[in-house]
Amino acid sequence: MSGGGSAESVVQAAALAALRAVAGLNGVYLAPPVKATPPYAELGDLLSSDWSVKDRAGRELRLAVTVRDAGESNARAQTLAGAVGAAIEGLPRDLDGWRVASVVLLRSRVRGGPPGRWSATVEYRVRVLEA
């Protein structure tokens, strides 16, 4: 096992740090917040599967980030989702005990909810190998 912790905890910590640096968000949460002022982001549950190779442990992680916003149009939500995607794609390749092999956008979507409420979700696949 790597010295830095599980792949899931290390990637989640790196993703949180990257998302907290996105300008324009009023917060980043691991679950729907009780009180938050839009726009904010939610980092959803990480889905993990084995991606080991012959001589090293590996994980394939799926992570989804949803930007929640309020306004007349979805323009700001779309812009922030782009910034969130860039932050995820820019994750450091060397993490604590793990090395990021790839970061791939799987899908993105913008939806309207109740009048004036928007959500934009980006979902990524992150593959890591034990360092």
Helix ranges, the chain (H): 7-20, 75-89
pTM > 0.85: yes
DSSP string, 93-119: SEETTEEEEEEEEEEEEEEE-STTEEE
String of b and e for 52-68 (b: at least 16 CB within 10 Å)? Answer: eeeeebbbbbebbbbbb
Report the percentage of the chain scoring pLDDT > 70: 98
pLDDT score at 1: 45
Mean pLDDT to the nearest integer, 28-56: 96
**For range 26-40, the mean pLDDT:** 95
Model pLDDT for residues 46-104, shown as the tens digit of each residue: 999 999 999 999 999 999 999 999 999 999 999 999 999 999 999 999 999 999 999 99
pLDDT value at 3 more than 60: no
pLDDT exceeds cutoff 80 at 4: no
Tell the burial category of 108 from Cβ atoms under 10 Å away from its Cβ (0-12, 13-18, 19+): middle
101-129, pLDDT tens digit by residue? 999 999 999 999 899 999 999 999 999 99
Please answer whether residues 63 and 30 qualify as being in contact, where contact means their C-beta atoms are separated by less than 8 angstroms. no
